[in-house]
Amino acid sequence: MELMAAFSDASFWLALGSIIVANILLSGDNAVVIALASRNLQPTQQKTAIFWGSAAAIILRVVLTITAVQLLGLPYLKMIGAVLLLYIGVQLLADSDEDPEMKGEANIWGAIRTILIADLVMSLDNVIAVAAAAQKGPEETRLLLLIIGLGLSIPLIIFGSTMLLKVMERFPVVITLGAGLLGLLAGGMFVEDPAIKDTIQVAMEDAHTTFEMIGVVFVVLLGTWLKRKNRRKKAHKK
């Protein structure tokens, strides 16, 4: 009965709206990863990878949000996440010349796996805003608010990813920009880790921006080099 009464509480709907808005605003980078990870699949497989990758990522984000405050306080977690993001960014750029006909089934699960890992890493900061929005609602509805609010965001993330795929097909440079974005996020995440944050920000005046730029350069240069190396291998095989 208490739960039903909560639905008539204005704070419930205010919190739900806040969660949806926060998730939309914070999911732009996730849409980039989803589009990048699924761009080499067949059109029908792209839709499947985007849907299941987005849905699984949202469920994962609900679970992560519940323990967000504790997780973000752990030292070295953000540093590990930053390294994972760098790896994903480099791989996505290095594989941007892959033949879309190859390994259909393996590719679709590989795409979903990449989406999940990247969303987990990038959601470490995002979930704080969503968790804070849920606190506006009645206490007994907060978990329900998270599930409904994030669930309603799935179609919006899917739409954003689908649009990005079309843009990538027309303008391949967007793939490089997307990979660079992951490098930027990784650099910012690394320097925000509680284990080194205070020390490094005292030592460097503009540490956050510096590490973001290092992340971009690292991903773009290494990813481009690996892509060219892959091209040469394919040329020799022919």
pLDDT at 212: 92
With respect to residue 215, please indicate whether it lies within any of the assigned structural domains: yes
Measured distance CA(81)–CA(163) in Å, rounded: 27
Asked, for residue 78, whether it belongs to a domain, the answer is: yes
Number of domains observed in the structure of the chain = 1
158 lies in some domain:
yes
Domain assignment of residue 59, yes or no: yes
The per-residue pLDDT for 2 is 59
Q: Look at residue 220 and tell me if it is in a domain.
A: yes
Residue 115 lies in a domain: yes
pLDDT of residue 103: 43
pTM metric for this prediction? 0.70
Per-residue pLDDT at 236: 77
Residue 167 lies in a domain: yes
The torsion angles phi and psi of 18, rounded to 5 degrees, stand at -65, -40
In three-state secondary structure terms, 110 is helix
Residues of the chain with pLDDT under 50: 1, 100-105
CB 216 within 8 A of CB 184: yes
Rg (CA), the chain: 19
Q: What pLDDT was estimated at residue 173?
A: 87
Residue-range definition of the domain harbouring residue 218: 9-237
Is 3 a member of any domain? no
Q: For residue 128, what pLDDT is reported?
A: 62
- What pLDDT, on a 0 to 100 scale, did the predictor assign at position 137? 77
Convert the pLDDT of each residue in 198-220 to its tens digit.
888 788 888 889 999 999 999 99
- Contacting residues for 225 by C-beta, under 8 A, at least 6 apart: none
